């Protein structure tokens, strides 16, 4: 909370056990630093909402209330408005998925869907499988329900199916509650699950009787290469999460989930308990916005913007980053992933980076088990290309300072470098 005074907690020891496993998001905690105008943010996954024409959006909001106030201002059904669910049906059809409005529940961003899925599926000790690294908001949402989250490594084609199969074999049939995956432009990895691996993932899910949760916030933000159909297009049992945060605006907090009806029925009960129903005001506004045709141009413009920024980041990394660093080359989305020599601790680097006016997210935030300490997630979605170039340059300076010492060790003939000697 605003003040950083240490406050005596009269209720210490009176909170639920689950709070011991729940931590504040590293990204959220960076917001304060990132809002200083001299600091270049390569940390948060904030869309470039300035590219959404304010008048078009404002007009949608005005019409929502002026023409549909009786509904926009009122409570609504917990499953969300059928009109917006119809819009979602059409949006999903464009990505190759056929669903009906009754297969959809609207949520407060995809984040709420993650929380509700955790709530309906997870008892303490249950196993969840996810990519490693994975979306930290999913780690936060699930961890409230005390599962053991097992991470499967990725390569440039996404989650490795050989490793997934080995894990499933260890766990046995039905041995995990679900497999959580972000197939497109993964957050934070930046890689995309190849088509043949998508088919294999579905096969394994069936063979081991473990449901798949497909989280697809970035699927429509592809810069190059052909569209790859979602997992949900391969199997109706896949639980699919979508969001309006990246194709319209996160400020509306609108997402959705499609799932088999028995799962949706449980989800609705959990949603009633969580917030009664979603915002009809936001839903009608989105209906108005997607009722026009301008959104397609806006989305194309947004995608172009992000592509330019990715290009700027890749070029700057190539130019400034040391040869010891490796990074992914995403074909879309918001993020890329940098791996540094093992002895580097990106938390230490972050403190120095903030002093030089640039932020990123340390890699261990994206693992349930503190792995990834030598990695970082870089967001190219939010800063202008020149700022990205400057940010990467500043970051490279921080790295260079650290690496000099390392190289000196090597030059002096040290066979191996222990972390504690350098950091």
Which residues inside 222-251 make contact with a second copy, applying CB under 8 A? Answer: 237, 245, 249-251
- Supply the minimum distance, in Å, between the C-beta of residue 336 and a second copy: 20
**Judged by CB under 8 A, which of 155, 196, 207, 269 binds a second copy?**
269
Q: For a second copy, which stretch binds (CB under 8 A), given 1-9, 161-169, 349-357, 366-374?
A: 1-9
Q: Exposed, middle or buried: residue 154 (CB in 10 Å: 0-12, 13-18, 19+)?
A: buried
Verify binding: residue 171, a second copy, rule CB under 8 A.
no
Q: Using CB under 8 A, pick the residue from 36, 155, 207, 276 that binds a second copy.
A: 276
Q: Which long-range contacts (CB under 8 A, 24 or more apart) does 347-355 make?
A: 347/373, 348/423, 349/376, 349/398, 349/399, 349/402, 350/376, 352/398, 352/401, 353/394, 353/395, 353/398, 354/33, 354/39
Tell the smallest beta-carbon distance from residue 342 to a second copy (Å). 30
Q: Binding residue for a second copy (CB under 8 A) from 37, 50, 323, 412? A: 50
Evaluate whether 138 touches 25 at the Cβ level (below 8 Å): no
**Segment 180 to 199, residues that bind a second copy, using CB under 8 A:** none
The one-character DSSP state at 147 is P
Q: Number of residues in contact with a second copy, rule: CB under 8 A?
A: 102
CA–CA gap between residue 333 and residue 319 (Å, rounded): 22
| Minimum CB–partner distance for residue 280 and a second copy (Å) | 4
Mapped onto helix, strand or coil, the DSSP state of residue 25 is: coil
User: Out of 125, 226, 261, 370, which residue is the one contacting a second copy (CB under 8 A)?
Assistant: 261
Q: Which residues contact 367 (CB under 8 A, 6 or more apart)?
A: 132, 133, 134, 139, 151
Strands (E), 133-280: 148-155, 158-159, 178-181, 212-215, 239-243, 255-258
Among 33, 63, 307, 397, binds a second copy (CB under 8 A): 63
Checking phi first, is residue 317 left (phi over 0); if not, alpha (psi -120 to 50) or beta? alpha
In terms of Cα–Cα distance, which of 149, 152, 151 is closest to 161? 152
Take residue 136 and report the two structure tokens written for it: 């930290």
Smallest distance, Å, CB 418 to a second copy? 35
CB nearer to a second copy: pick between 138 and 350: 138
CA dihedral over 343, 348, 354, 356, signed as positive or negative: negative
- Which span (47-55, 91-99, 181-189, 384-392) binds a second copy, by CB under 8 A? 47-55
CB of residue 30 to a second copy, shortest distance in Å: 12
Of these, 40, 97, 145, 380, which contacts a second copy (CB under 8 A)? 145
Which sign does the torsion angle of CA 90, 96, 98, 103 carry?
Answer: negative
CB of 253 to a second copy, least distance (A): 4
Q: Which of residues 16-45 bind a second copy (CB under 8 A)?
A: 16-19, 22-25, 28, 31, 44
**Window 82-141: residues binding a second copy (CB under 8 A):** 101-103, 108-109, 111-112, 115, 119-123, 126, 137, 140-141
* Interacting span for a second copy (CB under 8 A) from 52-60, 192-200, 320-328, 331-339: 52-60
Stretch that binds a second copy, among 182-190, 280-288, 294-302, 371-379 (CB under 8 A): 280-288
Does residue number 330 form part of the binding site for a second copy (CB under 8 A)?
no
Q: Is 213 in the site for a second copy (CB under 8 A)?
A: no
What minimum distance in Å lies between the beta carbon of 314 and a second copy?
A: 25
Question: Least CB distance from residue 52 to a second copy, whole Å?
Answer: 6
64 binds a second copy (CB under 8 A): yes
Residues 193-210 as b/e (b if ≥16 CB within 10 A, e otherwise) read bbeebbebbbebbeebeb
By CB under 8 A, name the one of 275, 324, 342, 421 that touches a second copy.
275
Question: Taking the complex as a whole, how short is the minimal distance between the CB of residue 407 and a second copy, in angstroms?
Answer: 40
State the minimum distance, in angstroms, from the CB of residue 121 to a second copy.
6
281 CB-side CA count, 13 A: 10
Least Cβ distance, residue 72 to a second copy (angstroms): 5
Structure tokens at 343: 């002895």
Residues in the chain: 423
């Amino acid at each position: 909370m605003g003040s950083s005074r240490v406050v005596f907690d009269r209720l210490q020891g009176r909170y639920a056990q689950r709070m011991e496993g729940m931590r504040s998001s590293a990204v959220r905690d960076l917001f304060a630093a990132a809002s200083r105008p001299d600091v270049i943010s390569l940390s948060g996954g904030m869309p470039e909402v300035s590219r959404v024409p304010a008048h078009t959006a404002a007009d949608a909001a005005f019409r929502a209330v002026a023409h549909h106030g009786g509904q926009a201002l009122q409570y609504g059904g917990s499953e969300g408005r059928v009109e917006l669910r119809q819009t979602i049906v059409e949006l999903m059809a464009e990505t190759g998925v056929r669903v009906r409005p009754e297969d959809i529940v609207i949520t407060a961003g995809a984040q709420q869907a993650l929380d509700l899925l955790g709530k309906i599926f997870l008892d303490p000790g249950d196993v969840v499988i996810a990519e490693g690294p994975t979306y930290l908001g999913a780690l936060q949402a699930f961890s409230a329900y005390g599962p053991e989250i097992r991470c499967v490594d990725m390569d440039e084609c996404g989650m490795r199916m050989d490793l997934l199969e080995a894990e499933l074999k260890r766990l046995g049939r039905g041995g995990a509650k679900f497999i959580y995956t972000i197939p497109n432009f993964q957050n934070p990895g930046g890689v995309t699950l190849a088509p043949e691996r998508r088919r294999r993932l579905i096969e394994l899910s069936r063979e081991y009787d473990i449901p798949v949760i497909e989280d697809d916030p970035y699927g429509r933000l592809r810069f190059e290469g052909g569209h790859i159909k979602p997992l949900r297009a391969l199997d109706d049992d896949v639980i699919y999460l979508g969001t309006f945060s990246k194709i319209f605006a996160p400020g509306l907090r609108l997402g959705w989930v499609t799932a088999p009806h028995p799962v949706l029925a449980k989800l609705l009960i959990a949603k009633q308990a969580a917030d009664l129903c979603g915002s009809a005001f936001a839903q009608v506004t989105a209906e108005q916005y997607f009722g026009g045709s301008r959104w397609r141009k806006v989305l194309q413009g947004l995608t172009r913007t992000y592509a330019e920024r990715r290009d700027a980041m890749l070029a700057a990394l190539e130019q400034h980053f040391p040869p010891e660093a490796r990074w992914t080359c995403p074909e879309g989305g918001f993020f890329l992933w940098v791996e540094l020599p093992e002895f580097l601790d990106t938390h230490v680097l972050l403190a120095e980076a903030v002093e030089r006016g640039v932020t990123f997210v340390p890699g261990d935030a994206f693992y349930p088990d503190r792995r990834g300490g030598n990695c970082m997630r870089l967001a190219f979605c939010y800063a202008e290309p020149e700022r990205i170039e400057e940010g990467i340059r500043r970051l490279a300076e921080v790295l260079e300072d650290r690496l000099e010492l390392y190289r000196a060790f090597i030059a002096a003939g040290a066979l191996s470098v222990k972390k504690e000697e350098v950091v």
